[in-house]
Amino acid sequence: MDWTDPQLVIEAGREMSDRSKFSLSIHLDLAEAMGMLATLQLASRHPANHGPTAERMRVIADKLEAALSKLGPATAELCRRGWDSNHDACPED
């Protein structure tokens, strides 16, 4: 279909109005889970990333962190440090 932006938003809103029709389970391996957590942490720390969507993504990141932290204390600490920009890798690292 060839929708204008406003039409697209209205139609997608209609399609998504019944949230009970949608459920998604995602199975991730360890590398995928760590990558997703790192990406969500980085995005969550961006100063312009706020509002309801950012809050939902923070909840998902917290759940990922909790699950990964069960692997052991070093993994838990690695996950915790992802919230601190002082531990970001530099491109030359």
pTM of the full predicted structure?
Answer: 0.77
Higher pLDDT, 91 or 14: 14
pLDDT above 70 for 79: yes
Residue 72 CA: distances (Å) to CA of 55, 61, 78, 82: 27, 18, 10, 16
- Is the model's pLDDT at 42 over the cut of 60? yes
**Which tokens is 8 given?**
């697209």
Q: What does the domain layout of the chain look like in residue ranges?
A: 27-93
Nearest to 56 by CA among 44, 68, 39: 44
Average pLDDT, the chain: 91
* Greatest mean pLDDT among 1-5, 10-14, 31-35, 45-49: 31-35
pLDDT value of position 41: 95
Strands (E), 1-93: none
Would you say 36 and 64 are in contact if contact means Cβ atoms under 8 Å apart? yes
